[in-house]
Structure 1
Amino acid sequence: MSRNRTSSGAAELLVELRRDGGVPLHQQLEKAIRDRIRQGLMRADTVMPSTRALAQDLALSRGVVVEAYQQLVAEGYLVSRAGGYTQVADIAVVEASTVASPVIGPPRIDFKYSKPDVSEFPRAAWLRSLKKVLNETPHRSFAYLDGRGALELRHALADYLNRVRGTAARPENMLICNGFAQGSRLLLQVLAKQGYRRLAVEDPSDNELREVATTAGLEVVGVPVLETGIDVDVLEQSGADVVLVTAAHQFPTGAVTSAETRAALVAWAVRRDALIIEDDYDAEYRYDREPIGAVQGLAPDRVAYAGTASKTLAPGLRLGWLILPGWLVEEMSEAKLTDDRGSPVLEQLAFADFVARGEFDRHLRRMRPKYRLLRDTLVERLGERLPELVPVGVSAGLHVMTWLPAGMSESAVSAAALERELGVYGLAPYWMAGHGPAGLVFGYGGLTVKAVAEGIDVLADAVSTLSE
């Protein structure tokens, strides 16, 4: 995009002048501009206001501004261009309050989890939805919403989730939020206010939510994860009145909650008069198994279901949703309004059209084989180069976990890999006590097939140095 090169006075400059300070006004103006340039607050090529416009804005004579500009041009801070406009010169910043530390760039190949392939974002289809919304949406839809979000999106998502995830969603019981981060934070705050006291989480599990729960005033207890999902017998003895589960694809182990465990979980909630929070974060990506329905469909009054577009479309959209029991809707709606007055309506309406027209389904069908190829490449390469790292939880999602052999340290592996510009990450942050069996979590969604293969080769080289 071309920069506006005129000196018509469209640009403005905030400068504070002391007219009773004893320092000539042109020198004050010079110093103010010079200091900003030296501190890096006015970048090279920034177009300055015209001398006439700046003089008018600051109630100065034009001669004062001309004198200041001429001095700064002479010092090399400004440069006059053909056509009568003045710009900040391309000079190095010579002052800083502190010496900046060297910036270490990200690993060349990074297996960090939570990185879907945003390069595949369906721009053309999304643009069609945006254009349709802008052309056809009534003006009233751009006014303030109620706390639940745009009705159009709640209808579209209810239809989609009931069809694809087996939920029992109704638009009036849904709430649109800025991703799972906001939705879970508001939900835990509301639950604590309503008298809930103890949250049970899968162990291992996402550590960030545990911190959010503690901040909300809830006690957090860990419950082991079995191959069939959360250990309901231990949950029964935990004294918890709310539990968070990732039933479709446990994070990070990848365990799938069995039908028996789901039934036992719902029975526990009924007996205990408790609430289940179901984080359905990446259930749309399955490769080697039949689809597993959401627990919410079994007990809508006992489950708060959370979903997000972060793994399926792009995390930058900040689009998430909750399906709530009826008794939570009003208070959650009020909490959402208090928090931010509602999520951006334009994105909600565009996503509603995107889902209703079947573009969301098409995007997921297009992405599944791409992610499956990445998963297959990762698993096969591990088998060839690092057979001692046996993958688990590979049937779905955007990550694979491996246990480490006895005596192999997560931190040592990660450090050796990082020396080779490779990012690999251990399980330690996900354990309630901060430690447990050692393992690695490989996120592959944002990588290429070539990067996955090369990354495992580099890891094999790193691991080999640890055993020497």
Structure 2
Amino acid sequence: MTDLHLPLDRSAGRLAAQIAAGFRAAVRSGRLTAGTRLPSSRDLARDLDVSRGVVVTAYEQLTAEGFLIARRGDGTRVAPLARPDTTTLPPDGAPLPPGTPSQHSETWQHGGTQHGPPTQQGGTPQQRGTTQYGTTTQYGGTSQQGGPTQYGATPQQGEPSQHGASTQHGAALQYGRTAQPSGTPQYGTSAQQGGGTQYGGAMGQGTAARGGDSAPAPASFYDLTPGRPDLSAFPRERWIAAARAALRTLPNDELGYPDPGGVPVLRAELASYLGRVRAAYADPGRVVIMNGVAQGLSALLALLRASGHRTLAVEDPTSARQLPMMESAGLRLARVPVDGEGVDVAALARSGARAVLVTPAHQYPTGVVLSPARRAALIAWARDVDGLILEDDYDAEFRYDRDPVGCLQGVDPERVVLLGSVSKSLAPALRLGWAVAPPSVVGRLREYRAVTDLGAPVLEQHALTEFLRSGGYDRHLRTMRRRYRARRDALAAALSEHLPGARVRGVSAGIHLYVELPSGSDEDAIVARAARAGVAVAGARPLWWPGRAAAAPPALVLGYAGMGETRLVKAAELLGQAITQGAGG
């Protein structure tokens, strides 16, 4: 079964008509291709939180129009003759976002029949000027711009070291002006929190999950630390089947050194998936396969540093695990506050940065979803300063009580790089992720991989390709959404009973909760008492910039993916006792 991005305006009514219109737009834009199997009416109704009759009505209408076909035993699929519009690009050559009918095409095609102009989905697209990202740079040698570029170690006062061969290429990440240091001090911390994007390796060794204490955490019977999926749920048999199917037909030539951008068939499958589920503007040429989001981010920071950027804006609070890696790239970090609507774009504009890392779908750790107004303001900021948005699509797969939110990259694909992985949806051990980027950035990412690690493992890429193609990935995500929702419900209800003075945030999506403790609570003492009771939890203070941490409400970040409902309830009871003991002196 296929997962879908179908936003609904519930206040407008006529939900069946809205669902049908969403499917039509997806077919016309190419996000849903002929033969794609759709969810059952029952599953889609559950996902959209509507009655099954609403979905049945929409499916029947689309079947009558010829967009869908339904066969007993084979479910409902996009009709074989359904195909996208013939899209004409705007005069400046900038691509239209997916789902937006071309302003220059007078017809859309279906089954060989021409129809009148389609209804505009989401208004008239803005005409974007062609963004110039610079001219030429050189990996490891002397740039034609003058001066060497560097990837890896922290630059030394304008004298970066050289790595790799003298490979020249064009389209550097230059945005029309030289970045000026904002004067923002660099803020680092040894605290390792398991949320946001996970960054393993040496930086995570020997550090307690709660923050600055370097002593190992005591053994815990109940582990509520965030950042890990249910690893016991990894679909071993289906993955083995996908790997066997891929190996059975894999040409011998594919066992050589891979395309540094990733095997073409996986890039094609991911482009289709991300366009369909995340409303991304993704074609295979914009996709680069990375070894997880961590490598994608590390590579992008190296490219930014090489092209003159000196400051990177990041959310505050944010995952502490990624801070040392970002600082090692030689960029100053400007911490930008997050409130109930997401990142504060006005504060971002004052930071002096022209690149920002955000988690708009489910901010880590607060769980806030970037509001529509802030999304528009963030895109406007990027255009105004000739900047770049790095979008970590954290926790986007797991939503429970809200309509799907499309990615920022689909709004302005020339200003946003979308980063994602299967670390939360499948397992971090696979080390498979992706970056969807503007063409000039894609070229540099491919070349960066070619001179640093020669590309990602091939067999795992082909196995993921088959897993996506067969529908196994969609089925696994549906299973995990149901499982995680039940666990979230159990933990949230138990926290309400045993921590009545706490405020639970971020419940609508993801695999963690942000729990603001009662006023006056001693966060560190609660973490310690919980550990003595056998419950491992993470305090939120290490996630804030030190200048704001003192004023931030005491809070815990609780992961719930790895335990069943009964154990989660017991863990909440013990945690409540730890807080009560502290309140009682």
Q: TM-score range by the shorter chain?
A: 0.7 to 0.9
> Residue 561 of structure 2 aligns to which amino acid in structure 1?
G
Within 5 Å, which residues of 2 pair with 1:206-355? 206-355=319-468
What amino acid maps onto 1:142 in structure 2? L
CA contact (8 A) 2:218 2:531 kept: no
Match of 1:420 among 533, 550, 564: 533
Q: Distance in 1 between matches of 2:219 and 2:301?
A: 33
The CA distance in 2 between the partners of 1:107 and 1:183, in whole Å, is: 33
CA offset digits 1:210-231 (Å, max 9, x no partner): 2222111111011111211111
Overall identity of the aligned pairs, in %: 44
Distance (whole Å) between structure 1 residues aligned to residue 448 and residue 391 of structure 2: 20
Which residue matches 1:464? 580
Matched, 1:203 2:337: no
Q: Which of 539, 558, 561 lines up with 1:442 in the alignment?
A: 558
CA distance in 2, matches of 1:149, 1:105: 41
Question: What is aligned with 1:388?
Answer: 501
Equivalent pairs counted in the alignment come to 367
CA–CA distance in 2 between the matches of 1:327 and 1:135? 36
User: Residue 236 of structure 1 aligns to a residue in which SS?
Assistant: helix
Q: Which secondary structure does the structure 1 equivalent of 2:389 belong to? A: strand
In structure 2, the residue matched to 1:170 is 283
The code of the aligned residue for 2:309 comes to Y
Runs of 4+, deviation exceeding 6 Å: none
Aligned residue for 2:303?
A: 190
Q: Which has the higher contact order (CA 8 A, sep 6+)?
A: 1
Q: CA deviation at 1:106?
A: 3.1
SS of alignment partner, residue 376 of structure 1:
helix
Verify the 8 A CA contact 1:113 1:399 in the aligned structure 2.
yes
Q: 2:255 is matched by which residue type in structure 1?
A: F
- Larger Rg, first or second structure (1 or 2): 1
1:406: how far off? 2.0
Distance in 1 between residues matched to 2:292 and 2:341, nearest whole Å: 28
Q: 1:356 to 1:255 in 2, by over 3 A?
A: same
What is the alpha-carbon distance in structure 1 between the residues aligned to residue 570 and residue 531 of structure 2? 14
CA positional deviation for 1:333: 1.2
Q: CA deviation at 1:356?
A: 1.2
Deviation at 1:303, TM superposition (A): 0.4
Provide TM-score, normalisation by structure 1: 0.77
TM-superposed deviation, 1:437: 2.6
Looking at structure 1, the residues matched to 274 and 238 of structure 2 have their Cα atoms a distance apart, in angstroms, of: 20
The DSSP-based 3-state class of the residue aligned with 1:116 is: coil
Distance 2:314 2:216 in 1: 36
2:267 corresponds, among 131, 154, 176, to: 154
Q: When you count helix as a share of all residues, which structure comes out higher?
A: 1
- Which residue identity does 2:500 align to in structure 1? P
Distance 1:105 1:338, change over 3 A: farther
Question: Conserved in 2, the CA contact under 8 Å of 1:197 and 1:241?
Answer: no
Distance in 1 between residues matched to 2:219 and 2:458, nearest whole Å: 34
Query: Aligned letter for 2:261?
Result: R
Q: State the shift of 1:361 in Å.
A: 0.6
Deviation for aligned residue 1:135: 0.9
Two-structure CA RMSD over aligned residues (Å): 1.4
Structure 1: distance between partners of 2:422 and 2:447: 23
CA offsets, 1:100-147, max 9 Å, x none? xx9875311111111111111111211111111111011111111121
For residues 223 and 104 of structure 1, the distance between their equivalents in structure 2, rounded to whole angstroms, comes to 31
Q: Kindly provide the amino acid, as one letter, of the partner of residue 556 in structure 2.
A: L
What SS class does the counterpart of residue 493 from structure 2 fall into?
helix
Superposed CA deviations along residues 192-220 of structure 1, whole A, max 9, x for unmatched, are 11111211111101122222221111110
Aligned to 1:168, what secondary structure does the other structure show?
A: coil
In structure 2, C-alpha distance between the alignment counterparts of 1:290 and 1:450, rounded to whole Å: 29
Tell me, which stretches of 5 or more residues in structure 1 are unaligned? Answer: 1-101
Partners of 2:449 and 2:533 lie apart in 1 by: 45
Aligned match of 2:91: none
* Whole-angstrom distance in 2 between the partners of 1:240 and 1:118: 38
CA 106–321 in structure 1, closer or farther in 2 if over 3 Å, else same: farther
Aligned counterpart in structure 1 of residue 258 of structure 2, from 145, 154, 160: 145
Match of 1:368 among 462, 473, 481: 481
Instruction: Look up the SS of the partner of 1:307 in the other structure.
Output: strand
SS of 2:546's equivalent in the other structure is coil
User: How far has the Cα of 1:407 moved from its partner?
Assistant: 1.5
Q: What is the alpha-carbon distance in structure 2 between the residues aligned to residue 438 and residue 276 of structure 1? A: 30
SS in 2 for 1:257: coil
Q: What amino acid is aligned across from residue 507 of structure 2 in structure 1?
A: V
Determine helix, strand or coil for the equivalent of 1:249: coil
Task: State the Cα deviation string for residues 392-438 of structure 1 (Å, max 9, x = none).
Answer: 11100000001122221111000001111110111112112272332
Report the 3-state secondary structure (helix = DSSP H, G, I; strand = E; otherwise coil) of the residue aligned with 1:450: helix
